Amino acid sequence: MNNLHEHSAQTIKAGSKSFAIASLLFGREMRHDAQMLYAWCRYADDVIDGQEMGYAQQEYDGTPEERLKALRRDTQAAIRGDAMDDPAFAALGEVVRRHAIPPRYPMELLDGFYMDVTQHRYQHFSETLEYCYYVAGVVGIMMALIMGVKPEEELVLHRACDLGMAFQLTNIARDVIEDAENGRIYLPADWLQEVGLPQQPEALLQPEYRAKLHGLALRLVHHAEPYYASAALGMRALPPRAAMAIGAARSVYRRIGTRLEQQRPAEWNGRIVIPKHEKQALAITAGLQGLVLSLLPPTNASRQGLWTRPA
């Protein structure tokens, strides 16, 4: 294993145990490339949030705006093929070149991070979905290109985007309390208004609002389901091992939403953790289901009603 592969493997192991387990189902080369893309995504996200591997606080030079500007500069350099000292950017450059990933997608991810930097608020659910596209849907598209999906296979890329968006809706539902503690709200303002909740993050943390907040989180979980369903159809266009890995990741993430549904509002105080043995069991079962799906012919079934990425 070369240094880039080793760095990327360690990054995904520390930053996302769910994806680390799922990535084991990829073939060797595809796993390395998926891990290298993840390493860059994780690094960029951490720089914006001032964290390390999505959790521990980490000091970075400059304001969030200055850090985002530096991320844009270094990402563009990596895409151009410049030699990069930082392994995260070197990994991105290698993956982009090997799979001819259009530059718009890495840059659109950074556009999504700009929404975080500016603490953008979302008036309607369609705006929350747009945010999900920029911070997660584009990652689904890039992963699909790594798995061999052709740029002209628009419907398959839409379904890959759908999976990323489903993941992000699940993330938002899971992290509503943590985000409010950090001064962020991704729930649509009109949803908050409908149930009489305040628009200020710190106010949402009051115990008397917990039941209503939990209800809105479940609303997000339910909205994620059609996107998970669309993504399952897209797995029919993937190579067998890729479909197994994606099926595993999809199943583990959906379980987060199931756990949230099972919790009473008073019990909901932080991140929902799926035990390792449960993740492994889900990965095995869903991986086999993904294998079966990959053996079926691709489908042109409609995505009617789902948010669609910009052309």
Please report the pLDDT score of residue 11 as a whole number: 66
Please report the pLDDT score of residue 23 as a whole number: 77
Q: Are residues 35 and 9 in contact, defined by beta-carbon separation less than 8 angstroms?
A: yes
Distance CA 301, CA 234 (A): 10
For residue range 112-145, what is the model confidence (pLDDT) as tens digits?
999 998 889 999 999 999 999 999 999 999 999 9
Which residues does 59 contact at the CB level (< 8 Å), separation at least 6? Answer: 50
Nearest to 155 by CA among 170, 144, 166: 144
Kindly report the backbone phi and psi dihedral angles of residue 237, in degrees, each rounded to the nearest multiple of 5, phi listed first. Answer: -100, 5
Please report the pLDDT score of residue 61 as a whole number: 75
Nearest to 246 by CA among 132, 151, 166, 155: 166
Structural domains in the chain, sorted by start: 1-102 (1.10.600.10), 119-311 (1.10.600.10)
For residue range 48-85, what is the model confidence (pLDDT) as tens digits?
887 665 455 666 778 888 999 999 999 999 999 999 99
Q: Are residues 269 and 177 in contact, defined by beta-carbon separation less than 8 angstroms?
A: yes
Distance CA 104, CA 138 (A): 9
Q: What is the pTM of this model?
A: 0.92
Which residues does 215 contact at the CB level (< 8 Å), separation at least 6? Answer: 195, 265
Q: How many CA atoms lie less than 13 Å away from 227 in the CB half-sphere?
A: 31
Average confidence (pLDDT) per 10 residues, the chain, 311 residues: 66 64 83 91 88 60 88 96 94 96 97 92 97 97 96 96 98 94 94 96 94 96 98 97 94 93 83 85 93 95 94 75
Please report the pLDDT score of residue 9 as a whole number: 64
